[in-house]
Copies of this chain bind each other. A is one copy, B any other.
Amino acid sequence: MFDTIIIGSGPAGLSAALTLKQLNKNILWLGKKDLSFKINSAEKIRNYPGLIEVSGKEMRDVFLEQIKKMDLEIVDKQVTGVYPQTGKISVLCGSEAYEAKTIILAVGVETVKPIAGELENVGQGVSYCATCDGFLYKGKEIFVYATNKNYEHEAKYLATLAAKVYYCPIYKDIDINMTNVEIINSRPKEIKRNGLRKKDIILSDDRTITVDGIFMLKDAVSPSVLVPGIETENNHIKVDRQCKTNYDGIFAAGDCTGRPYQYAKAVGEGNVCAHSVVAYLNQNK
């Protein structure tokens, strides 16, 4: 059993990981190996103390170097659910489960609002995880929505399984060329059930596509989908000054706890979370 599982590899997750590593805690850090920042390559970050006028990419490179230097490892798994139990918390990544005494949620914020019918159908035809649920759609027809280019390889993977993929990317520079992939240029606006097993996706141009499954590949999912029963406020995880959530042993940091959506704020809360985890572990020995 881990002392803590950190979910998310943005600046909040990094800050928590650095501090807990230094304090010799036994951690599992789940996230993306390239950190998956919402990096706008043009953007200059001018207000992060210690990094002078860096681009998002430069900041990421420094962070990656620091992770290596501190001998930290990011395990690239998509978390599909966090379930508090007696004396431990289970984290599911598809069919794999991990257990920890505490959890730090540094899961970012949904930049794209859920569409109508999305949340109601999670686990019933709507999935956020290609590697977890892809095999369910072998030989079937699926709709794949992707908010950024990082998800293109997941779409390609899904296209090796499914008979037909309707691929709906909302980024530019699309580079996918497979005979069973059809690019959809309009946006999905609603998901409706169609009989027992099918789903209809209504597009912004009012076309309807009928499929067996829908993958919504995006940087963050609603906290209440990830952690059933977690208390939220305006779709942010509600925390106190110690970054505690309503669940004992579950803490949250960064954009998922609310504005300002800033590197400095995220890094600060990641640090606070790490110290709250240590205090919690000491109290619950």
Chain A residues proximal to chain B, CB less than 8 Å: 11, 14-15, 18-19, 21-22, 46-53, 59, 62-63, 65-66, 69-70, 239-241, 258-260, 262, 264-272, 274-275
Closest 5 CB pairs between A and B? Answer: A268-B268, A264-B271, A18-B47, A260-B275, A19-B47
Q: Given contacts A69-B52, A267-B264, are A15 and B47 in contact (CB under 8 A)? A: yes
Cα A154 to Cα B50 in complex, Å, equals 30
Least distance between A71 CB and chain B CB atoms (Å)? 11
| Extra pairs beyond A15-B49, A21-B47, A52-B62 (16, CB < 8 Å) | A15-B47, A18-B46, A18-B49, A19-B47, A19-B262, A46-B70, A47-B271, A50-B50, A50-B51, A50-B63, A51-B51, A52-B65, A52-B69, A260-B275, A264-B267, A265-B271
- Offer 12 A-B interface pairs, CB within 8 angstroms, sorted by A: A15-B47, A15-B264, A18-B48, A19-B262, A19-B264, A21-B47, A22-B47, A50-B51, A50-B267, A241-B258, A260-B275, A264-B270
CB distance from A279 to the nearest CB of B (A): 9
CA separation between A63 and B274, bound complex, in Å? 24
Chain B residues within 8 Å of A268, by CB: 264-269, 271-272
Nearest chain B residue, comparing its CB with the CB of A46: B22
Of chain B, the residue at the smallest CB distance from A278 is B260
Contacts of A267 in B (CB 8 A): 48-50, 264, 267-268
Point out the residues of chain B lying under 8 angstroms from A65, CB to CB: 52
B-chain residues with CB within 8 Å of residue A241 when the two chains form the complex? 239-241, 258
Chain B residue contacts of A269, Cβ below 8 A: 268
